[in-house]
Amino acid sequence: MSTTQRQSPSHSASVYDSKQSDSNPFVGTWRLVSIASSESRLFGERPIGILMYDADGHVAVQIMRNPRPDLSSGPGFPTAKEVQIAYKSYYAYYGTYEVNWEKRTITHHLEGSLRPGDVGKDFTRAYEISGNRLALTPIDDQQARNACLTWERA
């Protein structure tokens, strides 16, 4: 068995079977604990988020500023500035994931994203799992190299 396993229905030869998924520590729902990053200011002092991995190889992430910015113009027609602020204070994507146990990395293969330019990208993160906590640190993104997102099993 290789140390890299792609968690994707389109790569059935390396997807975990039900017996193997029991040993996959990523599977489940995680809640955001903290963001340590220069970009964390976009999400405020108490960001909230959810990260979900399933045994079939899917990942979904949502992170938002807490509290969300108010739309003074009401829910129907926000101003351009309000749209910009709301867009910058929320991030979401989904796709598949691949774990490299030897290198201790996990790669998210983005199939959809709030940010159109991220669709088709791979986000590779170093991971550390300790108890019910998961820390993810980007390793291939120069702008976010010093970032760390900490999640707690929900």
Q: What percent of the chain has pLDDT over 70?
A: 79
The count of structural domains within the chain is 1
pLDDT value of residue 70: 80
Higher pLDDT, 116 or 44: 116
Is residue 72 helix, strand or coil? coil
Residue 56, pLDDT > 80, answer yes
Supply the mean pLDDT for the chain: 84
* Contact yes or no for 110/95 (Cβ under 8 A): yes
Q: For residue range 14-55, what is the model confidence (pLDDT) as tens digits? A: 333 333 456 899 999 999 999 998 766 778 889 999 999 999
pLDDT band for 143, please (50, 70, 90 cuts).
low
Tell me the pTM: 0.82
Written as six digits, the tokens of 43 are: 């999400």
Expressed as residue numbers, the domain containing 109 is: 4-153
Residue 107, pLDDT > 80, answer yes
Written as six digits, the tokens of 70 are: 């108010």
Residue 52, phi then psi, degrees to nearest 5: -130, 130
Q: For residue range 69-101, what is the model confidence (pLDDT) as tens digits? A: 888 866 678 889 988 988 999 999 999 999 999
Instruction: Kindly report the CATH number assigned to the domain that includes residue 128.
Output: 2.40.128.50
